[in-house]
Structure 1
Amino acid sequence: MNAIDLNLLVALDALLTEGSVTGAARRLGLSTSATSRTLTRLRTATGDPLLVRAGRGLVPTPRAAEMRERVHALTRDARAVLQPEPAEIDPATLARTFTIRASEAFLEFLSGVLVMTLRQAAPGVRLRFVQKPDKNAQPLRDGLVDLEIGLLGTEAPEIRTRLLFVDRRVGVARTGHELLAGGITPERYAACEHIATSRDGSFAEPIDDALEALGLRRSVVVVVPGFPDAMRIASQSDLVAVVPRSCLGNRMRPGEAGPAGLQSFELPLALPRFNISAIWHPRLDADPAHRWLRDTVAGVCRAAYPR
């Protein structure tokens, strides 16, 4: 680093642009003598006279004339690198690829809206959705994932989060299921056959603890990896499932029949609500493009699931 002085590059740009020590000194805010000494240093560094006397003025050597545009471009780029990024960006001019890690449920019910919103505002932006097999923060740390959407499950202390919406669990069953006729009690609910959703194949879900507290147990006969799978099976069988309210989208309210012959219902048990968050690494905290992406995702979720 001691062999490189970027101030010389700025001075060289001024000298080649002005073709005059006096003019370059005025541009640089230096004295004429200081600029003259800088020209001497530049001649030593480049091994070329750069500017030579011609009458009462100075003219560039062939090498100086050849490097003039390159030096100007380098100086401009160096200034751009060493300046703060603008606080705001114009999404219409943004050209970037963002990698988002999200659950299958988010992809099914919100990815289409998010894609269309981003495409309308920023046609130069590309999205890459990747699967979310776990809550490991390493892909965020390694820069493989720009934004994660879901439950915060990592203990990585540096990770940044933003609440998108508060979710809760509801039940779903096919339209016309006998459970939906009359009041749904814990006993009637537990007496049904059930679908569990688990990435690791577990038959247990949070609702089992609530049932056990009442001395009840349910019979889980199918385990699937994702909530859309549970909803699909429930709509075509006599099995019932528990899914996040967000999985219903805006197409179906609890107690109302929805598409594909599926109806949701309020669970007869008190279960805790849970936060769905945007999760990212602090290296992207101040990046205006990433901040715009976070704001857009938050806006889409807020519109779909108002608090």
Structure 2
Amino acid sequence: MITNISENDFRGVDLNLMVTLMVLLRERSVTRAAEHLHLGQPAVSGALARLRSLFDDELLVRTGTGMLPTPRALELERQVGQALSDMHVALFQPPSFDPLTVSGTLTIGMPDWIDTWLLPALLAALSRKAPNVRVRVLETDPYTVSDMLAQEEIELAIGAFDQGPPWQRRMALASMTFRCVGRPELIGSGGKMTLEQYIGLPHLLVSHRGAFEGRVDKALATLGLSRNVVHTSPHFSSLPRVLQRVDAVAAVPGGLAPLWEKDFGLLSAAIPLELPTIEIAVVSHATRDKDMFVQWVCDIVREIAPRLATGAPDARLKLSEENVQK
């Protein structure tokens, strides 16, 4: 930001005069400058007179062989010419963007389960395509995401977020269902559960507000049924180890289920209820619409998320291998 200038300094300066000066210095002829500027010769002569008054210098001196620039004019040609060139780029050329050279810190908001499900593949892609960018992840949820975006605590967020305020941009990424996860002896070897078996087990629930009821309970209530929720936590990350040691099950986003099966020896089954799907989106503030890096990252997320949404371990492995090889 320029801080050593006064707005009053520019009151008597016409930008068109600077353009005329550059053409005069290039052509060293009022006649030829007028032709290039598509102006009459008197108009260019008048502009030269105003320039001489502005800079208190002859600028161009007539000689027997033409007009020669003064030392002051040559210095102006260097300085003003560069300034006009920079201004032309700023006004008329779209900014260039190369992720390989961009640097800085990108702050992303996401719930902890998105961190587990999506972040490894996202970081692998960013480390390859934008190696000079640091990534900061802050925890967010549907209740806090709009405030965090508005206060610029985060630049974008990824999660199961509903449509927010008018300024909040929302790009749908993928959808998935909930699955019931627990120890194999609780789920059953076939990975299938009846509704009676499901509600007969103790349940663990993830709630950002500490509630003991969620969307599963709402679906059960329509059938006149209920379940026994024995534990609630705002985080998914602690559940796998709890499920290993406690006779209980948990409803988790389908993308997590195969990861927990592989890493913690748990088993998952379809929940025998009609439940709404989890709609995953990336959201940002309208002020980021022209932020080329943020929009580029959103495109990367939009490429990765659908490929992971099935929760298939081999798809995750394939994506990781591709990120390394490209």
Whether these two folds match at TM > 0.5 is: yes
The C-alpha deviation readout for 1:147-184, integer Å capped at 9, x for no partner, is 2212233541232221100122111112x333325652
Task: Give the percent of matched residue pairs that are identical in Structure 1 and Structure 2.
Answer: 34
SS in 1 for 2:282: strand
Of 295-304 and 7-16, more deviation after overlay is shown by 7-16
What is the TM-score normalised by the length of structure 2? 0.80
Q: Does 1:266 align with 2:270?
A: yes
Query: 2:289 and 2:172 mapped to 1: Cα distance?
Result: 15
What is the TM-score normalised by the length of structure 1? 0.85
Q: Does 1:128 align with 2:136?
A: yes
Distance change (3 Å), C-alpha of 1:35 and 1:131:
farther
Distance change (3 Å), C-alpha of 1:125 and 1:5:
farther
Query: 2:206 and 2:106 mapped to 1: Cα distance?
Result: 29
- For structure 1, the 5+ residue unaligned runs are none
Distance change (3 Å), C-alpha of 1:79 and 1:306:
farther
The C-alpha deviation readout for 1:123-161, integer Å capped at 9, x for no partner, is 343433222153442443454432221223354123222
Query: 1:143 and 1:3 mapped to 2: Cα distance?
Result: 39
The C-alpha deviation readout for 1:76-123, integer Å capped at 9, x for no partner, is 11111212526x844334445433221211112211211221222233
Q: Does 1:8 align with 2:17?
A: yes
The C-alpha deviation readout for 1:173-196, integer Å capped at 9, x for no partner, is 12x333325652222222222211
Q: Does 1:294 align with 2:302?
A: no
SS in 1 for 2:100: helix
Q: Does 1:233 align with 2:237?
A: no
Query: 1:23 and 1:229 mapped to 2: Cα distance?
Result: 78
What is the identity, as a one-letter code, of the residue corresponding to 1:120? R
Distance change (3 Å), C-alpha of 1:287 and 1:262:
same
Shift of 1:278: 1.5
Shift of 1:201: 1.4
Q: Does 1:221 align with 2:225?
A: no
Of residues 162, 180, 197 in structure 2, which corresponds to 1:171?
180
SS in 2 for 1:209: helix
- RMSD of the alignment, in Å? 2.7
Query: 2:149 and 2:33 mapped to 1: Cα distance?
Result: 47
Partner of 1:194: 203
Query: 1:8 and 1:140 mapped to 2: Cα distance?
Result: 44
Partner of 2:100: 92
Partner of 1:303: 307
Of residues 53, 59, 81 in structure 2, which corresponds to 1:44?
53
Q: Is the 8 A contact 2:109 2:145 kept in 1?
A: no
Q: Is the 8 A contact 2:207 2:234 kept in 1?
A: yes
Distance change (3 Å), C-alpha of 1:16 and 1:186:
same
Shift of 1:296: 1.0
- For structure 2, the 5+ residue unaligned runs are 1-9, 312-326
Q: Does 1:116 align with 2:124?
A: yes
What is the identity, as a one-letter code, of the residue corresponding to 2:270? E
Q: Is the 8 A contact 1:137 1:154 kept in 2?
A: no
Query: 1:103 and 1:267 mapped to 2: Cα distance?
Result: 22
What is the identity, as a one-letter code, of the residue corresponding to 1:111? L
Distance change (3 Å), C-alpha of 1:141 and 1:59:
farther
Matches within 5 A, 1:149-164: 149-153=158-162, 155-164=164-173
Partner of 2:109: 101
Shift of 1:17: 3.7
Of 267-276 and 16-25, more deviation after overlay is shown by 16-25
Q: Is the 8 A contact 2:111 2:159 kept in 1?
A: yes
Shift of 1:280: 1.9
Partner of 2:6: none
Of 163-172 and 131-140, more deviation after overlay is shown by 131-140
The C-alpha deviation readout for 1:221-278, integer Å capped at 9, x for no partner, is 2211122222332133322111111223x646xxxx4222222211111111131111
Query: 2:133 and 2:14 mapped to 1: Cα distance?
Result: 38
Query: 1:278 and 1:184 mapped to 2: Cα distance?
Result: 33
